[in-house]
Amino acid sequence: MVLGFNRVIVWPWIMTKGQASTHGPLKLAAMRILGIESSCDETGVALVQTTGAALPSLLAHALFSQIEMHQAYGGVVPELASRDHIRRVLPLTRQVLAEAGAALADIDVVAYTRGPGLAGALLVGAGVACGLAAALGKPVLGVHHLEGHLLSPFLSADPPEFPFIALLVSGGHTQLMRVDGVGRYELLGETIDDAAGEAFDKSAKLMGLPYPGGPGLARLAEQGQPTAYKLPRPLLHSGDLDFSFAGLKTAVLTQSQKIGPAAHTEGAPERADLAASTQAAIVEVLLKKSMRALKDSGLQRLVVAGGVGANRELRAQLNAACAKAQVRVHYPELHLCTDNGAMIAMAAAMRLQAGVQQACARYSFDVKPRWPLHELGDQPMTAGAAG
Ligand code: ADP
Ligand code: MG
């Protein structure tokens, strides 16, 4: 879908000499940015307000999680996910606008998740965003899902400041990054196989917990002994900042076979012990590598983002280690750890403020199901539309 005109909206800003801020040029126009997230199994919509160079604020957000629908299959079914995004996205948009007391005409920019994620699911959000923007005559902007996670702590009551080390731990990714500003991301290390969230989910499945098992495993672990079973800490002493969790999953499988039916029987102490031991192994690796990244870089700030960042044990251990090392640690609000529209609207707002991307009234779009975060700098300064 290519309309007959291409109009690049350049937001009016005035950079006052000597007043460059970490959030970009000063005296930016006030904007209301609608964000649409549909990369996987959550439909999220949010409205964010920017005022000058101040940190954007969240006016309203709404989320529909498809988890219950996918639970019957033990994982996300892509086709069902896409169809459900279609059903949810417009009612959620209406809900967000009503909660913010705003009308469609009040939206200045429509942002959407361009990738990475499930192709069909991404196409729903991208299509709706570009259709809506075309109808309103407003510009669009495609956002990287992981950048959304990375910048989500800026929506919290205790927002970080650049530069910082970011630990991105989600269902699909485990990465340590050095973040010097909006769009300035250096990959320090990442998983060479499974993500931390995947390790939680696959281990939980072995214990008979429903998808996604991370939160359930964490709850079960509270009743168990973390030292009950000796599980490997892969790549703990590798000397670099990479991760590997596939071997841990195999070790959990072997251990659960040794335990027998008690490993997946509700109420069995062995099951809680296995959950606690698994969580301890994952948390120790994430903790040690994060502290190493901080030490190597000399930075004094850590940002933890992504679904696994909601894990209480991880937070407790990171808090303790960071307090000892005199490092400030920041998290997104608990309800904004997993996928949501607020982080997409926020990332779009911060990119516009920093002047690293412009919203563009060009309504042809593509999606990027595979899109490494460190390639973000390579994209054109436009909405990210193809052709
Ligand atoms: P993605 O964007 O890759 O889908 P999310 O950021 O939405 O990932 O996070 C989902 C992942 O977070 C799942 O693997 C889930 O099990 C995990 N997760 C959520 N809460 C917790 C928790 N309290 N403890 C451990 N893992 C968790
Ligand atoms: Mg998710």
Each residue's pLDDT tens digit, 217-268:
999 999 999 999 999 999 999 999 999 999 999 999 999 999 999 999 999 9
Strand residue runs (E) in 92-173: 109-115, 140-144, 164-169
Pocket perturbation via mutation, ligand 1, pick of 279, 338, 370 by most ligand atoms within 8 A of CB: 338
Say yes or no: 286 and 308 in one domain. Answer: yes
Q: Does 198 share its domain with 133? A: no
**Same domain, residue pair 342 and 324:** no
Domain that residue 314 falls in: 162-331
- Residue 59 included in any domain: yes
Confidence of residue 29 (pLDDT cuts 50, 70, 90): confident
179 and 148 inside one domain: no
| 387 falls within a domain | no
Q: For 70-103, how does the pLDDT look when each residue is reduced to its tens digit (9 = 90+)? A: 999 999 999 999 999 999 999 999 999 999 999 9
The number of the ligand nearest the C-alpha atom of 145 reads 1
Q: Do 291 and 372 lie in a common domain?
A: no
- CATH number of the domain to which 223 belongs: 3.30.420.40
CA of 326 from ligand 1 middle (Å) equals: 28
- List, in sequence order, every beta strand (DSSP E) within the chain: 7-8, 31-37, 42-50, 57-65, 109-115, 140-144, 164-169, 174-181, 184-190, 301-305, 328-330, 360-361
Angle, to 10 degrees, between the axis of helix 78-100 and the axis of helix 119-136?
Answer: 30
307 and 232 within one domain: yes
| Pair (174, 143) in one structural domain | no
Q: Are residues 145 and 207 in the same domain?
A: no
Strand partners of residue 166: 177, 303
Burial class of 230 by CB neighbour count within 10 A (0 to 12, 13 to 18, 19+): exposed
pLDDT at 306 over 60: yes
The C-alpha atoms of residue 261 and residue 241 are separated, in whole angstroms, by: 37
Q: Which bound ligand lies closest to the C-alpha atom of 316?
A: 1
Q: Which residues line ligand 1 (CB under 6 A)?
A: 40, 170-173, 197, 200-201, 212, 214-215, 218, 306-308, 310-311, 338-339
Give me the numbers of helices (H) and strands (E) for the chain, helices first please.
10, 12
Q: How many domains does the chain have?
A: 2
